[in-house]
């Protein structure tokens, strides 16, 4: 069977098609939501010395509730890198990357170097906490978009620390795409998403019904 015949056969298969949705990246209705990280299985030594280790790279501010932390977190300017941290006991911390340590924190070049998620994983997770790359995907880190869930998991002692993120800016995502690279793991969550449901062809005895999701 020649290439053209294979292509014709493939076009007749339902599996050869996929539904896609396009939206302008600059659209006001399109949002990128942050994905927060909740950590467990940290050695007690690492956990106890975490604030001291972070102070070498970040300016640290304390807050008594998440609402105040969230307002401060989202106030970050384009050139600033802010992170939220919760270790329990109803005390929240804002981590503001020091200007003098920006070059140290950026372990990558090009468009990747300004992504908060890259700084979080390379500087805090890898360098300070010693979390290995193979453990950073779902084994030692829980990813969630729900701040309350992250806080509850730390309060329940099931997890030890929660890191809160700002979402990447649309222009950063665009720059990564234009350079033919992929965004880091769990770094983009576009909202709103297209509605999904069940579609059924008209049922008839002489024809086969097709179901698609």
Q: Where are the domains of the chain?
A: 28-212
Whether residue 62 contacts residue 74, with contact meaning beta carbons closer than 8 Å, is answered with: no
pLDDT at 191: 85
C-alpha–C-alpha distance, residues 50 and 200, integer Å: 55
Asked whether the predicted pLDDT for residue 2 surpasses 90, the reply is: no
Residue 61 near residue 68, CB atoms below 8 Å: no
Question: Nearest Cα to 54, choosing from 95, 25, 21?
Answer: 95
Residue range 27-63, pLDDT digits in tens? 888 888 999 999 999 998 888 999 999 999 999 999 9
**Which of 44, 125, 30 is closest to 85 using CA atoms?**
125
Quick one: which H or E segment has residue 75? none
Residues 6+ apart with CB under 8 A from 111: 172, 175, 176, 179, 181
Considering only residues 72 and 183, tell me which one the structure prediction assigns the higher pLDDT. Answer: 72
User: Cα(106)–Cα(94) distance, rounded to whole angstroms?
Assistant: 19
């Amino acid at each position: 069977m020649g290439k053209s015949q294979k292509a014709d056969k493939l076009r007749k298969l339902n599996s050869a098609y996929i539904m896609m949705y396009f939206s302008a990246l600059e659209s006001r209705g399109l949002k990128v939501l942050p994905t927060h990280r909740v950590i467990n299985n940290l050695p007690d030594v690492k956990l106890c010395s975490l604030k001291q280790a972070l102070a070498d790279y970040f300016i640290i501010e304390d807050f008594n509730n998440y609402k105040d932390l969230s307002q401060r977190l989202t106030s970050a300017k384009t050139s600033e890198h802010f992170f939220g941290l919760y270790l329990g006991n109803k005390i929240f911390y804002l981590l503001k990357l020091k200007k003098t340590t920006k070059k140290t924190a950026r372990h990558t070049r090009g468009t990747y170097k300004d992504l908060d998620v890259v700084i979080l994983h390379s500087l805090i997770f890898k360098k300070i906490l010693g979390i290995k790359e193979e453990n950073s995907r779902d084994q030692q880190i829980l990813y969630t978009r729900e701040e309350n869930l992250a806080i509850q998991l730390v309060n329940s002692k099931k997890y030890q620390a929660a890191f809160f993120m700002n979402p990447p800016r649309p222009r950063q995502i665009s720059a990564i795409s234009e350079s033919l690279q992929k965004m880091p793991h769990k770094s983009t969550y576009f909202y709103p998403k297209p509605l999904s449901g069940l579609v059924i062809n008209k049922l008839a005895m002489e024809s086969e019904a097709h179901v698609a999701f």
